[in-house]
Structure 1
Amino acid sequence: MSEASFTGFAHPALPTVDEIRAWALDPSSLAPEGRHWDLTLATDELADAWLDLAGDATCPKRSFALHVLYIYSGDAVRTKFRVHSRKRVDKLLDKAQESRDQYVGLWVANTKALIRQPDLFDYDEWCNGGLVRRPRRLSPGPTRR
């Protein structure tokens, strides 16, 4: 099977939940051309879909879905919850805790650590995929005064 651009997006910059699911479950589809497509996908409207896809061990784009979750929560904390409300992030974390997937569990633990200690935010780790490529539990250091 060769890889090809996915033609199922009416507007790739504003995909629907159904379009995201179809793309993510297609093993031969590539992401649309263009820089920072991943950053445009970390929205409240798509967050539940990304969570479902990240917890699905059979999803071909599972690590991409996890990457978008890290962008979502990292951006929420980095902006002091102006981009995504604390209530919405907490609701997503509650839903994620029902997952038995170890990588989703690690995302939950790391997001909670970031909420407690926002200076754990590092753009490369949270928004450029570092925590997906090198999964590990972040541990908050001593609280600064």
Structure 2
Amino acid sequence: MSAQESTFHGFANPVDPSPAELRAWAYQPDSVPLTSMPQDWDLLVAGDHLVQTLFELSMDPACPARRFALHCLYIYAADGIRTNFRAHPKRRFRKLVEQAERAGDQLMHNWAHNSRVLLARPDLFAYRDWCEGGLVRENRRIG
């Protein structure tokens, strides 16, 4: 039985969910509403430990929490770029961008494009767009 087919009963520790827990929740996000999560949960999960899971969820058009996962990818990209990759490995970031360009749909192409533009022009960072979900809600390209 896959995570998508199993029943999700909650996180053992919502501040530090496992990849399997995050994946199971993403396919049944109403089981634990975002409003019941710790404050700034998006910032907490947008790290190296879960980035591959977030990327896979973002690549899946059938994932009910896809937009949330994509929002976390925007946070991850901005955090890496703005810290000159002290926060996250540049190699991992580049691999995700290349994979999104190669195999992603328009949402993922926009994320990859925006990430590359921010990498070249960090002055284009706007907290509202990258950390509050503006680029996900508007599905637009910068630069």
Specify the TM-score bucket, using the shorter chain as the normaliser.
0.7 to 0.9
Matched, 1:60 2:68: no
The correspondence for 2:28, drawn from 14, 26, 29, is: 26
Structure 2 residue aligned with 1:125: 129
Question: What residue number does 1:90 align with?
Answer: 94
Q: RMSD of the alignment, in Å?
A: 1.3
Matching residue of 2:4: none
For the 8 Å contact 2:58–2:66, the answer to whether it is kept is yes
Aligned to 2:42: 38
Shift of 1:33: 2.6
- Which consecutive aligned stretches of 4+ in structure 1 deviate over 3 angstroms post-superposition? none
- Count of aligned residue pairs for this structure pair: 134
SS of the residue aligned with 1:91?
Answer: helix
Match for residue 78 of structure 2 among 74, 77, 100: 74
**Higher helix fraction (1 or 2):** 2
Q: In 2, Cα distance between the equivalents of 1:26 and 1:35?
A: 20
CA distance in structure 1 between the partners assigned to 2:37 and 2:61 by the alignment: 26
For residue 135 of structure 2, give the secondary structure of its aligned residue in structure 1. Answer: helix
Deviations 1:54-112 (A, max 9, x none): 12111110100110000000111111111012112112212222323110110000000
The residue number in structure 2 matching 1:47 is 51
The residue type equivalent to 1:66 in the other structure is: L
Structure 1 unaligned segments of length 5 or more: list them. Answer: 1-5, 140-145
